């Protein structure tokens, strides 16, 4: 299957029902909630970036739940809850879907990955049906390093022709593994997959067939990799590390 386009992509846009939103309480006080009416998604990869506290994870969580995913992640069939902490944003989201439907689905959350792995262990203790862990490579996710268990999901469980929502997938990955993840994303995009990714990693957000949207105090707007603070700060650090450290350690 070729790359998805604006007609065949699985989710074309995210719309907020502004006329119904009860402003005044979280998450409706977030800047992007106040200003966003419709967010058009890229057919292949949409990156959602921004500083901590701007609502990246809240937005991805809302999109995922509105699509039918469990708030703590997994496939559409996962139905567990370790702690009910998700916001009500999903109730005010309308997803505009394309002409095609994905064959595979996964919502990956770094924050609740341990809970998902534990749920797999518990389900596989049941005496009937195939083991779920076999679709993740066969080795317990708890018996691998954090980074290796993350990558087992991306490598083994993601099958292509899928909708994949990833919230900070770089959390446990080394720079080399981040590049490996970018290569894996590219493989899956070529197999007709669509990604929505929240990340702080300039490596992961470097894919050419993509759109980067940044959440700031002024709302949400499209940008380029080179215009992001993530890229410019890292470039400044490596281009002139001594100067940057001098300013950071000014009191020494």
CA–CA gap between residue 3 and residue 209 (Å, rounded): 9
Omega before 227 cis (within 30°)?
no
At residue 252, the pLDDT reads 56
Share of the chain above pLDDT 70, in %: 97
- Averaged pLDDT, 103-115: 91
Residue 129 has pLDDT above 90, yes or no: no
CB atoms within 10 A of CB 121: 14
Write out pLDDT tens, residues 140-178. 999 999 889 999 999 999 999 999 999 999 999 999 999
Sequence-ordered alpha helix ranges (H) in the chain: 31-35, 56-67, 113-123, 146-152, 175-190, 229-239, 241-248
pLDDT band at 2 (very low <50, low <70, confident <90, very high): confident
pLDDT mean across residues, the chain: 91
Q: Report pLDDT for 84.
A: 61
Kindly state the DSSP code that residue 43 receives in the 8-state scheme: S
CB of 39 closer than 8 Å to CB of 125: no
Instruction: Domains for the chain: give ranges and CATH numbers.
Output: 11-248 (3.40.50.300)
Is 60 exceeded by the pLDDT of residue 83?
A: no
**DSSP label of 41:** P
Overall average pLDDT of the 170-194 stretch:
96
Neighbour tally for 81: CB within 10 Å: 13
Tokens standing for 230?
Answer: 């993530």
Residue 86 has pLDDT above 80, yes or no: no
Looking at the predicted structure, is the pLDDT value of residue 77 above 80? yes
pLDDT for position 126: 85
The pLDDT value given to residue 127: 79
Per-residue pLDDT at 81:
65
- For the stretch 18-63, pLDDT in tens is 999 887 888 899 988 888 899 999 999 999 999 998 999 999 999 9
pLDDT of residue 213: 97
Looking only at the bridges linking them, the beta strands covering 38-40 and 45-50 are unpaired
């Amino acid at each position: 299957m070729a790359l998805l386009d604006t007609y065949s992509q699985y989710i074309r846009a995210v719309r907020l029902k502004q006329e119904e939103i009860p402003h005044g309480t979280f998450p409706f006080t977030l800047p992007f909630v106040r200003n966003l009416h419709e967010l058009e998604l890229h057919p292949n990869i949409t990156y959602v970036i921004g500083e901590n506290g701007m609502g990246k994870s809240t937005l991805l969580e809302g999109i995922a739940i509105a699509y039918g995913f469990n708030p703590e992640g997994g496939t559409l069939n996962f139905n567990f809850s370790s702690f009910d902490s998700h916001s009500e944003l999903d109730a005010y989201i309308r997803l505009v879907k394309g002409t095609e439907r994905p064959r595979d689905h996964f919502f990956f959350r770094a924050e609740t990955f341990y809970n998902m792995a534990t749920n797999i262990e518990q389900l596989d203790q049941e005496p009937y049906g195939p083991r779920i862990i076999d679709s993740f490579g066969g080795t317990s996710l708890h018996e691998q390093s954090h980074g290796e268990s993350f990558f087992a999901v991306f490598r083994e469980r993601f099958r292509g022709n899928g909708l994949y929502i990833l919230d900070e997938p770089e959390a446990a990955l080394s720079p080399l593994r981040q590049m490996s993840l970018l290569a894996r994303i590219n493989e899956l995009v070529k197999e007709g997959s669509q990604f929505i990714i929240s990340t702080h990693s300039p490596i992961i957000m470097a894919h050419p067939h993509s759109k980067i949207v940044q959440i700031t105090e002024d709302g949400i707007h499209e940008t380029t990799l080179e215009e992001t603070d993530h890229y410019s700060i890292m470039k400044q650090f490596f281009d002139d590390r001594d100067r940057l450290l001098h300013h950071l350690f000014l009191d020494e």
